[in-house]
C-alpha cells in the first residue's frame, strides 16, 4: 500500500473517531445545573411548608423527592433524541389513559371521583395523574412534529399543531381539570414562536380567541363559574360571598397578609392555617402558607428561585442548535413558568382559583416526579453540545419571522 493510500485511510479513521467523539461529548458546565439547583431548593421549601401542617405528608413528599431525583438522572443520561422515536407511542398511550379516567363504568377502586373530578388512577401505594404525564408527552410530540417542517409558517399550516394541542387539552378539561388544561395554549404559542412561526398569524389567532372567549363561558362547570364570580366580587370589594364561593380565596389572602414581611414562624403559621380552615393548604394553596410562615421575604425567595429556573431553562434552549432539543427546552420552561404564574396569582387574588399546584412545592407524587423528569430533560439538552459547524435551529430570515 502506498504512503498516500495509508495517509488517506488514517485521515478517514481520524475523521470517523473525531465525529463519534463530537457526537458524544458532554458539556458538564451548562445552565441546566442551575435548573437542578433551583428545583432542589424549591422542593426543599415544599417539604418544609407541607410539614407546617402535615408532618406525615412531608415525609411522604421527601420519599417522592428521592424517587423524582432518580427519575431526573434517568431522563438526563441517554441522548434526548431517542424521545423522537417514541413521541407517537408515548402520546397515544397518554391519550388512552386520559380517556380511561373518563370512562364512567371503571371501578371506583381504580378511578375514584373526588370533588366531582375524575383525574387519578389508583396504583395501590399512590395515585397517578395522567394529565401530569400528558405535559411531557405533548411537548415531545409537538417538538418532534415541528423540527423538520415549515408548513406551520403558513396560516393554515398551524392546523396540525393546534390539533395536537386541543386533543389532550380537551380531554383534561372534561375531567374536569381547567387549571392543567390552561397550560397547553401558552406552551403552544411559545414553541411556535421559538420555531419561527409568523407573529401576525399568532396575533390573529389570539384576537379571534379573545373575541370568542365569552362563548366558552356556558361550557364551564358550575364550580368553575363560581370561582370566576368570586374573583369578580372580590375585585368589587363585595364581602357578601366570603363565606360561600369566595371562602378559599379570602382565606388565602388573609394568610398571605398575616405573614407581613418576615413571617410568623412555623408554630403560629400552623395555628393560623388551622384556625382559618384553609382548604388544600398543602396543595393548591401552598403559596399562602409560604407567605404566612416566612412572609413577603419567603414569597420573593420562592419567586426568585423560579426566576433562576426559568432563565436557566431559556438559556439552555438558546444554546442548543438542535431544533428538537431547543423546542423541548422551551416547552418545558414555559409550561412550568405558566403553572407557577397561575398558582401564585390565584393565591394572592389576581386570578380565579383553578385547582393548580405549585411546581416542586405542592404535595403530590405524580406532580413532583413529572416536574423532576422535566428537569432531567432540560439537563439532558444542556449536556449535549452542538456539532461543530452545525447550522442554527430554524434558520429563517429574522425580518420574515417577526413581520406583522
Q: How far apart are CA 332 and CA 384, in angstroms?
A: 17
In a domain, 401, yes or no: no
Q: What pLDDT score was predicted for residue 167? A: 95
Helix and strand numbers (H, E) in the chain are 16, 2
In a domain, 353, yes or no: yes
Q: How far apart are CA 349 and CA 259, in angstroms?
A: 16
Q: Domain of 163?
A: 42-385
In a domain, 33, yes or no: no
Q: How far apart are CA 18 and CA 13, in angstroms?
A: 8
- Own/partner pairs, 387-394, CB within 8 angstroms, 24+ separation: 387/22, 387/23, 387/321, 388/22, 390/321, 390/322, 391/321, 392/321, 393/320, 393/321, 393/322, 393/323, 393/326, 394/194, 394/195, 394/196, 394/323, 394/326
Q: What is the mean pLDDT of each run of 10 residues along the chain (404 residues)?
A: 43 42 66 96 97 94 96 94 92 95 88 82 83 95 90 90 94 89 95 93 89 77 76 74 80 91 93 90 93 96 98 94 94 97 92 89 93 97 71 54 45
In a domain, 360, yes or no: yes
Check residue 396 and report its DSSP letter: -
Q: What pLDDT score was predicted for residue 24? A: 53
Q: What pLDDT score was predicted for residue 390? A: 52
Q: State whether residue 117 is helix, strand or coil.
A: strand
User: What's the structural domain count of the chain?
Assistant: 1
Residue 384 bridge partners (DSSP): 26
Q: What pLDDT score was predicted for residue 52? A: 94
In a domain, 71, yes or no: yes
In a domain, 36, yes or no: no
Outline where DSSP puts E strands in 2-43.
none
Q: What pLDDT score was predicted for residue 25? A: 72
In a domain, 20, yes or no: no
Q: How far apart are CA 93 and CA 261, in angstroms?
A: 47
Q: How far apart are CA 217 and CA 212, in angstroms?
A: 10
Q: What pLDDT score was predicted for residue 21? A: 40
Give the pTM.
0.88
Residue 224: CB partners within 8 Å, gap ≥ 6? 176, 178, 354
Largest CA distance in the chain: 96
Q: State whether residue 263 is helix, strand or coil.
A: coil
Residue 110, φ and ψ in degrees, nearest 5: -105, -50
Task: Count how many residues are written for the chain.
Answer: 404
Q: How far apart are CA 179 and CA 172, in angstroms?
A: 9
Give yes or no for a contact between 171 and 98, defined as CB atoms under 8 angstroms apart: yes
Copy the grid coordinates of residue 68: 423524582
CA dihedral 384, 187, 346, 298 (to 10 degrees): 10
* Residue 241, number of CB atoms within 10 A of its CB: 17
Q: What pLDDT score was predicted for residue 16? A: 44
Give yes or no for a contact between 81 and 95, defined as CB atoms under 8 angstroms apart: no
In a domain, 237, yes or no: yes
Amino acid at each position: 500500500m502506498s504512503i498516500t493510500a495509508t495517509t488517506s485511510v488514517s485521515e478517514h479513521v481520524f475523521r470517523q473517531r473525531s465525529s463519534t467523539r463530537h457526537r458524544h461529548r458532554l458539556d458538564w458546565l451548562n445552565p441546566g445545573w442551575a435548573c437542578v439547583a433551583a428545583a432542589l431548593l424549591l422542593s426543599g421549601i415544599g417539604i418544609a411548608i407541607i410539614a407546617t401542617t402535615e408532618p406525615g405528608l412531608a415525609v411522604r413528599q421527601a420519599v417522592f423527592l428521592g424517587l423524582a431525583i432518580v427519575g431526573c438522572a434517568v431522563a438526563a443520561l441517554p441522548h434526548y433524541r431517542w424521545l423522537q422515536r417514541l413521541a407517537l407511542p408515548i402520546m397515544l398511550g397518554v391519550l388512552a389513559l386520559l380517556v380511561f379516567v373518563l370512562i364512567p363504568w371503571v371501578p371506583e377502586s381504580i378511578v375514584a371521583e373526588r370533588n366531582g373530578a375524575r383525574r387519578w388512577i389508583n396504583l395501590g401505594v399512590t395515585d397517578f395523574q395522567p394529565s401530569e404525564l400528558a405535559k411531557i408527552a405533548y411537548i415531545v410530540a409537538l417538538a418532534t412534529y415541528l423540527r423538520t417542517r415549515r408548513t406551520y409558517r403558513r396560516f393554515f399550516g398551524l392546523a396540525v399543531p393546534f390539533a395536537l394541542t386541543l386533543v389532550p387539552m380537551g380531554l383534561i378539561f372534561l375531567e374536569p381539570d381547567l387549571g392543567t388544561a390552561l397550560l397547553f395554549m401558552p406552551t403552544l404559542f411559545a414553541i411556535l414562536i421559538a420555531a419561527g412561526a409568523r407573529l401576525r398569524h399568532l396575533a390573529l389567532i389570539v384576537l379571534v380567541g379573545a373575541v370568542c372567549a365569552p362563548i366558552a363561558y356556558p361550557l364551564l362547570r358550575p364550580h368553575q363559574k363560581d370561582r370566576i364570580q368570586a374573583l369578580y366580587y372580590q375585585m368589587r370589594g363585595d364581602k357578601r360571598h366570603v363565606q360561600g364561593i369566595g371562602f378559599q380565596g379570602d382565606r388565602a389572602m388573609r394568610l398571605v397578609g398575616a405573614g407581613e414581611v418576615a413571617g410568623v414562624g412555623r408554630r403560629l403559621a400552623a395555628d393560623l392555617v388551622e384556625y382559618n380552615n384553609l382548604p388544600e393548604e398543602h396543595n393548591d394553596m401552598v403559596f399562602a402558607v409560604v407567605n404566612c410562615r416566612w412572609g413577603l421575604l419567603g414569597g420573593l425567595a420562592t419567586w426568585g428561585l423560579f426566576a433562576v429556573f426559568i432563565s436557566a431553562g431559556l438559556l439552555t434552549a438558546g444554546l442548543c442548535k438542535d431544533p428538537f432539543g431547543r423546542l423541548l427546552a422551551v416547552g418545558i420552561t414555559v409550561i412550568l413558568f405558566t403553572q407557577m404564574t397561575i398558582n401564585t396569582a390565584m393565591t394572592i387574588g389576581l386570578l380565579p382559583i383553578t385547582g393548580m399546584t405549585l411546581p416542586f412545592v405542592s404535595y403530590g407524587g405524580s406532580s413532583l416526579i413529572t416536574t423532576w423528569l422535566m428537569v432531567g430533560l432540560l439537563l439532558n439538552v444542556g449536556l449535549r453540545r452542538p456539532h461543530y459547524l452545525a447550522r442554527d435551529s430554524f434558520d429563517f430570515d429574522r425580518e420574515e419571522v417577526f413581520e406583522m
